[in-house]
Amino acid sequence: MVAEVIDGNAIAKAIRESINAEIGSIQTVNPLFKPSLTIIQVGARPDSSTYVRMKLKAAEEANIVCTLQNFPEDITESQLLSEIATLNDDTSVHGILVQLPVPAHISEIAVTNAVAPEKDVDGFGPLNTGELAKRGGSPLFVPCTPKGIMVLLEKAGVELAGKPVVVLGRSDIVGAPVASLLRNADATVTVCHSHTENIEKYLKEADVVVSAIGKPHFVKGEWLKPGAVVIDVGTNYIPDATKKSGQRLVGDVDYESAAAVASKITPVPGGVGPMTVAMLLQNVVDAAKRYYAEQAKRHITPLPIKILDKVPSDFEISRNQKPKNIRVLAKEIGITENELENYGAYKAKIQLSLLDRLAHRKNGKYVLVTGITPTPLGEGKSTTTVGLVQALGAHLGKIAFANVRQPSMGPTFGIKGGAAGGGYSQVIPMDEFNMHLTGDIHAIGAATNLLAAAIDTRMFHERAQKDGPLYKRLVPAKRGVRKFSPVMLRRLKKLGIDKTNPDDLTPEEISKFARLDIDPATITWRRVVDCNDRHLRGITIGQGPAEKGHTRETGFDITVASECMAVLALSNSLTDMRERLGRMVVASSKSGEPITCDDIGAGGALTALMKDAIKPTMMQTLEGTPVFVHAGPFANISIGANSVLADKMALKLAGTEPGEDEAEKAGYVVTEAGFDFTMGGERFFNIKCRSSGLVPDVVVIVATVRALKLHGGGPDVTPGVALPEVYRKEDVELLRKGCANLGKHIANAKQYGLPVVVAINKMETDTEAEIQCIREEAIKAGADDAIPSNHWAEGGKGAVELAEGVVAAANKTEGKDFKLLYDLEQSVEDKLNAIATKMYGAEKVELSDLAREKVETYTRQGFGNLPICVAKTQYSLSHDAALKGVPSGFTVPIRDVRASVGAGYLYALAAEIQTIPGLPTHCGFMDVEVTDDGEIEGLF
């Protein structure tokens, strides 16, 4: 008998060709599918290098990206583990293989265990080996050599069920795992090893022999049962003078004598070896397919909520819901562990690197929530935002994000309370949401106050020193060497001075560089505090004796009114934020030139203070859907919306991979703009969308019966005072009159060429006739739909119809023609007129002498082409809070114009705006207490 040779080379080649074809087929649907393997080799052992070259060549044939990372033999174990951790975090790497053996000073177990289970294509990690050893286990990967052995047996047509099989060797790499695989194939397996007595006896009874004992020519033909199948795994080198290397590769089996007895046999070389490499490649492809399948399986598991007929306080509802661990939520929506920076169990910052990883995805659907002209009680935009997202995510099965601003602690401890939503539609834990969060506001406060201190300090030193000494102190010698810092090089470039050696500047250049000559009367930069401290609105600084009488009048703003906050909200990257911070204008020189943060030398330092604040914070709704909480720009003098970066991240996480059905798979990002559409919505489009390049798919306008009755002529509404009876009983006629205000907001939104859905935020006193009245008037005014929503009392379930309406409008393909309200090249006054006439219904604007002078200055300084933010009352379409409904024929007075150059807009004051509110007699903080176990009580 002459045994049939099981040709591992031929089978492995066919597998490589099959893998190549499979990859090509997948790439026709998803061109980004590129299976990637990284091989780690420590040192340069000749045998290891040979195996590595084989793997690199085979990977190339199979169309797999294969990278070799070779480290010196003296690398420490901790350094190697760090390199493996980096590869674990790299989502472009699907498989990691550590070429064994490693040097003696490195633990082989520690290294193989360090590879992430989902990238352990060698199958040597504890999860994979443990699962393989379990009866019915599910390893992610089977070790390559044992897997190759099983494929060889299958291709050779060997039946294993019930057959006696002997495995020689019990190593973790071959013997033990192949024994497990054979048992799983229902073979009767005996494992023999170096201490087994009478091995020949066991071999004589075996129908299949797998030898991995590591001894050349150990198994003799006479030991075998006639007709047995022999799989030789041995890789042994014996002396051979005929070979150039002086040695020859042989197996564990004496091939000539065994081939005369066996029915089938694998040669060495050309048997198991090529199959090991082929199975490695197959494991890499499987790892890549698993990664992309996980991305496609993104799904939010909702948290159940128990709805009570009598809705408890917001704080009680929040306290009674157990949130998911933020790691669980992150995994559900496809955020990797290395992109997550935990701040406790229920909130985390997200790394901006996510945007690069998901850059290939098509954005999800983008929804803007805004409102009608509100009453002082608010009409529930935040609650509607959260309720809508809960409906989309927890009830319609979509990936859905609520993107909201971080609330200031000023209103939280004052009278307004928190901003987490309300009832059964809120962000949790609401105490963490409303206080501190991840410290972004404090970072912005530190940055703002650093710049304020730098301005006053610079003026102090310029007054006290002549040019030469001033310059020497600005650019001191350190260890005998003088050099310009990076921010100083920026100033030199601005001044047109092309020199990098501080000693090369002429006296004239030194004066230009060192002396800013700030005009104190033009300083616009103020210090900030995150507290409603009315007594800081106007202060005098510099009264200490060391300041030598250099006093000036200034004041504090609340931190969220700082331009640094607006910069955070509008930046597109860390680099963009650095540039914006640097170009913030803080004053003018006495010659009328703008003085920037970089001129002061603080741009880099401010960026350093805010480098973590630029990362959005993730939380969750009451029903376990994701929320991005980021930035909190003051809604009167800024955009009053969350950050561009949070929206961009969420849109990618809610987006679709190549080949996915967009209509079925696309998720939703619901973001909110402060105040009504004439303020928040207008700024969102003309400022935020200009910065981000994003365009919403649909606008949702929140309306209430209460507010529309007020605009129809109802009596004033006052916080803390019982609602007048007209708001608690049906009055369709009064309501219909007030719907004119809603109609104007719908018309305003339609000017931007987008669909509009009206969300009727239901309250318990609303009647069906009143709801129908609003719906009729909204559709008549051009809304796609007007849908009642009871999310406050019912959570996401109460907003399902609204969510369905938003989905339908967002997916409209006809009638969308996005356009902005004005061109940036128009004059400042023309832009103001466009906003006032088209959004407010005014006849015109009228600039005061001060405002006109400021406009001329900003235009001369090169800032006339910025978009405009108008600061006015939120309680009227006009500048006058007393004018309800839809006033017309009025003139909007522009009292002053100020610049937020770093943020990228001018803001015009049509009303006196308090940029630091005051505290009431009874403050919110008076009700707050902390229990002995650390729980906060008394919030809202």
Residue-wise pLDDT tens digits, 335-359: 999 999 999 999 999 999 999 999 9
Question: 77, 69, 74, 70: which is closest to 106 by C-alpha?
Answer: 77
pLDDT given at position 939 = 64
The dihedral through the CA atoms of 137, 138, 144, 150 has a sign that is: positive
Tell me how far CA of residue 666 lies from CA of 433, 624, 629, in angstroms.
28, 19, 21
Q: Give 33's contacts (C-beta < 8 A, 6+ positions apart).
A: 23, 26, 27, 288, 292
Q: Which helix (H) or strand (E) holds 41?
A: strand 36-42
Using the predicted structure, report yes or no on whether residue 416 has a pLDDT greater than 60: no
DSSP 504: G
| Digit-coded pLDDT (tens) for 391-411 | 999 999 999 999 999 988 766
pLDDT given at position 930 = 76
Q: Name the token pair of 623.
A: 């029903």
Residue 912 — very low, low, confident or very high, per pLDDT cuts 50/70/90?
Answer: confident
pLDDT given at position 720 = 77
Q: Name the token pair of 258.
A: 């065994």
Which residue's entry shows tokens 């049509």?
Answer: 910
Residue spans of beta strands (DSSP E) within 505-558: 527-529, 539-541, 552-554, 556-558
Q: Name the token pair of 712.
A: 């129809």
Tell me how far CA of residue 672 lies from CA of 300, 624, 643, 645, in angstroms.
22, 19, 11, 14
pLDDT given at position 543 = 92
% of the chain with per-residue pLDDT over 90: 83
| Digit-coded pLDDT (tens) for 358-389 | 999 999 999 999 999 999 888 999 999 999 99
φ/ψ of residue 208, rounded to 5: -135, 135
Mean pLDDT, the chain, whole residue set: 93
| Digit-coded pLDDT (tens) for 285-310 | 999 999 998 888 899 999 999 999 99
| Digit-coded pLDDT (tens) for 170-223 | 998 899 999 999 999 999 999 999 889 999 999 999 999 999 999 999 999 999
pLDDT given at position 1 = 66
φ/ψ of residue 9, rounded to 5: -60, -45
| Digit-coded pLDDT (tens) for 644-703 | 999 999 999 999 998 888 888 999 999 999 899 999 999 999 999 999 999 999 999 999
CA 451 to chain centre: 29
pLDDT given at position 813 = 83
| Higher per-residue pLDDT: 720 or 560 | 560
pLDDT given at position 463 = 94
Q: Name the token pair of 123.
A: 């199958």
Q: Which helix (H) or strand (E) holds 672?
A: strand 668-672
Using the predicted structure, report yes or no on whether residue 708 has a pLDDT greater than 70: yes
Residue 315 — very low, low, confident or very high, per pLDDT cuts 50/70/90?
Answer: confident
Alpha carbons 933 and 812: distance in angstroms, whole number: 52
pLDDT given at position 331 = 95
C-alpha triplet 898, 904, 906: angle, nearest 5°? 25
CA 601 to chain centre: 31
Rounded mean pLDDT, 627-634: 94
Asked, as a colleague might, if the bond just before 101 is cis with ω within 30 of 0, I would say: yes
> Which residues share a beta bridge with 870?
908
* Pair 712, 738: CB distance under 8 Å: yes
pLDDT given at position 414 = 63
Alpha carbons 94 and 88: distance in angstroms, whole number: 9
Using the predicted structure, report yes or no on whether residue 802 has a pLDDT greater than 90: yes
Asked, as a colleague might, if the bond just before 724 is cis with ω within 30 of 0, I would say: no
Question: 40, 46, 48, 127: which is closest to 86 by C-alpha?
Answer: 40
% of the chain with per-residue pLDDT over 70: 98
Residue 800 — very low, low, confident or very high, per pLDDT cuts 50/70/90?
Answer: very high
DSSP 292: H
How would you list the strands of the sheet with 95-98, edge to edge?
Answer: 65-71, 36-42, 95-98
Rounded mean pLDDT, 699-727: 93
* Choice among 99, 282, 321, 390 that is catalytic: 99
| Higher per-residue pLDDT: 659 or 631 | 631
pLDDT given at position 51 = 84
Q: Is 99 a catalytic residue?
A: yes
| Digit-coded pLDDT (tens) for 135-144 | 888 999 999 9
Buried (b) or exposed (e) across 614-639, using 16+ Cβ within 10 A? bbbbbbbbbbbbbbbbbbbbbbbbbb
* Choice among 119, 120, 122, 440 that is catalytic: 122
* Pair 300, 626: CB distance under 8 Å: yes
pLDDT given at position 415 = 61
Helix, strand or coil, per DSSP, at residue 362: strand
pLDDT given at position 940 = 59
Which residue's entry shows tokens 């610079």?
Answer: 458
Residue type, 16: R
Q: Is 215 a catalytic residue?
A: no
Residue 815 — very low, low, confident or very high, per pLDDT cuts 50/70/90?
Answer: confident
Residue 532 — very low, low, confident or very high, per pLDDT cuts 50/70/90?
Answer: confident
* Pair 272, 152: CB distance under 8 Å: yes
Residue 783 — very low, low, confident or very high, per pLDDT cuts 50/70/90?
Answer: very high
CA 413 to chain centre: 30
Question: 445, 426, 265: which is closest to 796 by C-alpha?
Answer: 426
Which residue's entry shows tokens 């590879």?
Answer: 115
Using the predicted structure, report yes or no on whether residue 423 has a pLDDT greater than 60: yes
Buried (b) or exposed (e) across 236-251, using 16+ Cβ within 10 A? beeeeeeeeeeeebbb
Q: Does this model's pTM top 0.95?
A: no
